[in-house]
Structure 1
Amino acid sequence: MKGFLPNRLPPIANLILLVVLLFVGFCVAWFFIASVSNLAFGINFQQIGNVMQQPERYPQGWALSMFAQGLVLFLSFGGAALMLVKLTGYHVAEYFAPRRPVPGLWLLMAALLVIASLPLMTTLIAWNAQAHLPDALHGVEVWAKEKEDQAQALTKALTNFNSPLRFWIGVLVIAIVPAISEELVFRGVIQRNLVQSFASRHVGVWLAAFIFSAIHLQFFGFVPRFVLGLLLGYLYEWSGNILVPMAAHFTQNFSQLLLLYWQQRQWVSPELDPDANEAMPWPWVLASLLVTAGLLYWLHEHLTDETGPTQLRTLGGKGVTVASPEAAPTPAAARTLGRDGVDVGRYRD
């Protein structure tokens, strides 16, 4: 398949193109938001900002805010990643999943990894919530705290699930759409090109995780989100299929929403607050650490097993999947995809 641009673009050119497409997608999304807002909700363009900042004050505030958030993520993030692939002449499935098909067990184990790590993550959440910048940056810390308080108030308003319908809309907008759109961008495009640019899987994964956390603009939640980005990044790097980190990302978001919904319905103890910044008791954290480590080991061993029907699949110069059992590298020979999608050799770790 031919695109408008050559598929041999350098990684930095792909990343610049991604930024341009993100901006275009953002503009297109807001054009639709403004149109629907006026036609369906009776809210003109000048009022949209006020409604979305304080949706609880307006009868249609929640619906408009959820619609806008979902559409921006879907068109700006997901649309930009898919358009980049099309413009450079690749097939979508082969670009984001070039190596092998995905057994359902991998998706299940990736989901279990996220659930098992939740008690462990509470320690990072508690530590990061109490972090302080140097005195010289006190003004920045105050500004960051104010922004996070505003974001938390908005999140609380949007996750006020006073009906089952609201909950399932929240699942679509806050769990499903981000899991797909953000993974396509951060792991599928950004991480892929950073790995190629630095010829190092670890540098690519860590830089992509840093960008993933930083772009959320939450200083007091940076570390746990960074660690989550590392988990998602290595799941993609090991598996070679975007569906694996998507499953983990969805599980992370959905578990938080489900716990919050149960708490609002008073089906669980008030102590199980997903918005709390307190660490769970150390026996839970220790058990979480051991189970998480075990699942990571299992996933690494199985996702990087290049033998049998799950052999490595790479992209040819025109985006066509090519593979042969004889040419499949051994688990010890970590390899990467070149700029045109061709398997070019060992990673530099």
Structure 2
Amino acid sequence: MPCTGQLLPSGDPQPTPSLPASEESGFFSAASNTAASLCRGPGLLESLGWFAGAWGLHLLGVAGTAGLLLFILVSGGMDWLGLEVAEFLESQKLSLLAGEQFVFVTVVFLAAWWRLGGRLGQRLGSRPLPLEHVFLLTCLILPLSTICSLLHAWGMSGWQVLLENYPQWRLLDAPQAMDVLRDLQSSTPLWAMLLVFAVAPAFGEELVFRGVIGRGLVARWGMLPGILITSLLFAAAHVHPVHILAVLPMGLVLHYVYFTTRSFWAPLYVHFGNNALAVMIGRSTEPAMIPEQLSISALLTVSLSLLIFLALLWHTRIHFVREDGSSWTGPRFQLELPMEIPLRRTYDCLSWHVSLGGLVPLLGFLAVCRNGL
């Protein structure tokens, strides 16, 4: 049964010139096609530049924050010669991370706003999520995080074997985000951990990879190649080979939920939920609810759970229709809506018995984990 939403204002309420119907291209008029081309996002080479720039911002944020902290300390009367810089910075991990994320998110937001020509809400599709999609997105966070965690555990086993034969690769074992997360758990308030490890990374990384890079690559290369290349870049941003392996499924799913819901809030919510789950599990004093080793039955159950929720998202995916009831589809899977065509959002409702049925594998997996496999 279709669920129809309100008539959507496709852009800012400003007058647009009326055009003959023969000139309508299905999305933009000929006069606005040039602007649409400029705002469709980067190609592959520019995307690599965004990828490198994002990494540069993290380094700049850490270096700038460290310099600011040292300046404040020395300005307060501390003897520079007697200052143990390494020990001092080691004690300021949270401040360094907070400064890094502040620089990253701020510059990325301004750069994305400039690159896409402003109106980020319209460009990225910041439409509210229906309750059905909030439910499905919430349910898929746990199985998705579990599969990524298992890939990480399996990858680390192989990585240790590799290091025995090629010890020079230990350079990549420099402290990672998860190591810092574990170090800060006991001494840092929960709200600060969520802000630094969940809210800021989710917003900044989604702007870069789904909002800018993915927008351009999908527009130029098509759905599947665009999503795959974007997800590979997203995984590569995590540097460590094992982390790349573990994060790749996350990148694919984040782009999938973006296009099924046609809302930027969907990947942002799932990304935040995954990171927040890692923070909450790390703070728990009880044994981890998600073990690093699963039996075959538990693995099949959690995989089935993820596939069910992804399938239900596809079944309830968002469509847009014109006032006359005809379907509207933008070119190259574009998420931005035309300003001159009034559209209505519609999707297939999710019945309660289907919702409960989809929960069965997930609840079964949780029961297996509680019973120690």
How does the TM-score come out when normalised to structure 2? 0.66
Say if 1:21 and 1:83, in contact at 8 Å, map to a contact too: no
Task: Indicate the residue corresponding to 1:285 in structure 2.
Answer: 299
1:189 to 212, 217, 223: 212
Amino acid at match of 1:37: L
Amino acid at match of 2:70: N
- State how 1:140-289 maps to structure 2 within 5 Å: 142-148=167-173, 150-152=174-176, 155-156=179-180, 159-163=183-187, 165-198=188-221, 200-263=222-285, 268-269=286-287, 272=288, 278-289=292-303
State whether structure 2 residue 32 is matched by structure 1 residue 8. no
- Give distance in 2, aligned partners of 1:127 and 1:89: 43
Q: How many residues were matched structurally? A: 301
- Give distance in 2, aligned partners of 1:70 and 1:101: 29
State whether structure 2 residue 130 is matched by structure 1 residue 106. no
Q: Are residues 134 and 255 of structure 1, via their aligned partners in 2, closer, same or farther at CA, if it must alter by over 3 Å?
A: closer
Task: Indicate the residue corresponding to 1:347 in structure 2.
Answer: none
Deviation of 1:151 after TM superposition, in Å, equals: 1.7
Say if 1:6 and 1:88, in contact at 8 Å, map to a contact too: no
Q: Are residues 273 and 145 of structure 1, via their aligned partners in 2, closer, same or farther at CA, if it must alter by over 3 Å?
A: farther
- Give distance in 2, aligned partners of 1:288 and 1:205: 24
SS of equivalent residue, structure 1 residue 151: coil
Q: Which has the higher contact order (CA 8 A, sep 6+)?
A: 2
Per-residue CA deviation, residues 257-296 of structure 1 (Å, 9 max, x unaligned), is 1111013xxxx12xx287x7x3223332221111111101
Deviation of 1:47 after TM superposition, in Å, equals: 11
Aligned residues: percent identity? Answer: 18
Q: Cα RMSD between the aligned structures?
A: 4.1
State whether structure 2 residue 81 is matched by structure 1 residue 68. no
Per-residue CA deviation, residues 110-149 of structure 1 (Å, 9 max, x unaligned), is 13202123443344223322336999x998x53444422x
SS of equivalent residue, structure 2 residue 158: coil
Per-residue CA deviation, residues 195-231 of structure 1 (Å, 9 max, x unaligned), is 0121x11111111111111111111222121111111
- Give distance in 1, aligned partners of 2:327 and 2:261: 15
Say if 2:209 and 2:234, in contact at 8 Å, map to a contact too: yes
- Give distance in 1, aligned partners of 2:60 and 2:220: 30
- Give distance in 2, aligned partners of 1:288 and 1:181: 29
1:93 to 117, 121, 139: 121
Say if 1:11 and 1:196, in contact at 8 Å, map to a contact too: no
Per-residue CA deviation, residues 86-118 of structure 1 (Å, 9 max, x unaligned), is 3542301112216x4322442342132021234
Say if 1:33 and 1:68, in contact at 8 Å, map to a contact too: yes
Deviation of 1:239 after TM superposition, in Å, equals: 1.9
Task: Indicate the residue corresponding to 1:317 in structure 2.
Answer: none
1:124 to 135, 151, 158: 151
Say if 2:51 and 2:237, in contact at 8 Å, map to a contact too: no
- Give distance in 2, aligned partners of 1:14 and 1:95: 18
Deviation of 1:300 after TM superposition, in Å, equals: 1.5
1:38 to 63, 67, 70: 70
Deviation of 1:61 after TM superposition, in Å, equals: 3.4
- Give distance in 2, aligned partners of 1:47 and 1:177: 35
Task: Indicate the residue corresponding to 1:54 in structure 2.
Answer: none
Gaps of 5+ in 2: 1-11, 13-33, 340-373
Say if 1:29 and 1:76, in contact at 8 Å, map to a contact too: yes
Per-residue CA deviation, residues 35-90 of structure 1 (Å, 9 max, x unaligned), is 54135555999999964xxxxx44x634x322322332343255224423235423
1:337 to 334, 337, 353: 334
- Give distance in 2, aligned partners of 1:273 and 1:252: 14
Higher Rg of the two aligned structures: 2
- Give distance in 2, aligned partners of 1:207 and 1:282: 31
Mean Cα deviation higher: 102-111 or 17-26: 17-26
Say if 2:182 and 2:282, in contact at 8 Å, map to a contact too: no
- Give distance in 1, aligned partners of 2:83 and 2:241: 27
